Amino acid sequence: MTNGGSGRNRAGQRGVSMTELAITMAVTGVLLLMGVPMLDDARRAAELSRSTAQIHGLLIRCRAVAVLRSRNCAVVFDHEADGSWRCFVAEDGDGDGVRRSDVASGVDLTIGPMLRLDAGAAGPGVLDGSVPDPSGSGGLGGDLTDPIRAGRGNMISFSARGTATPSSVFLTDHARRMVALRVYGGTGRINRIRWQRGWSEWKQ
């Protein structure tokens, strides 16, 4: 009885052959390769969502400060030489509106932390190719290298009454998605819309 039991155990514990191991490794490799693009796409989507929320937060805070302190404030966007972006809220210190020269001299003070977005990371930008115009028919016009559509100076200003510079901030994941934050002048309201390759128009 003892010998019979040992024989069954040896048969049941047969090792894996080299062929079976090679097949298992090949299948695992294929599955991993299939999953890499999906993981990269999910990472880019998360980065775009985070950058959008951060800039949206700056705009909301800027409007709130302008109303509460009864003075003009602006979200200032700087595109650095290395391709990165920095964004911050500045408060008018001398009654002539937020000006870059006054920010540089310290007359207009920076409020709160500065947001920095690395070059190549999700943030301000426009995808290559044909992007529809969110305001109407046809493609997005203007300078496609400038994602901050706020007139001269890349500053979105809010007044003490809560009104704003009519403007749009375009953000991208540098792959297939875009988001636009649209600021309405008369109300200062901020609307978020999105677009991705293959869509004929922007969506809420």
- Domain-located, residue 202: no
- Domain-located, residue 5: no
What pLDDT score does 26 carry? 74
What pLDDT score does 21 carry? 74
**Which residue range(s) make up the domain with 37?**
13-196
Helices (H) and strands (E) in the chain, counts: 3, 9
- Domain-located, residue 3: no
What pLDDT score does 1 carry? 52
CB contact at 8 A, 74 and 155? yes
pLDDT tens profile 179-188: 999 999 999 9
> How many structural domains are present in the chain?
1
Could you tell me the CA-to-CA distances from 59 to 9, 131, 185 in Å, in that order? 71, 24, 13
Positions of the chain with pLDDT lower than 50, given as ranges: 11
- Domain-located, residue 7: no
What pLDDT score does 31 carry? 59
Please give the radius of gyration of the chain, using alpha carbons only, rounded to the nearest integer: 27
What pLDDT score does 37 carry? 74
Structure tokens at 45: 């989507």
For position 129, which CATH number holds?
3.55.40.10
What pLDDT score does 89 carry? 98
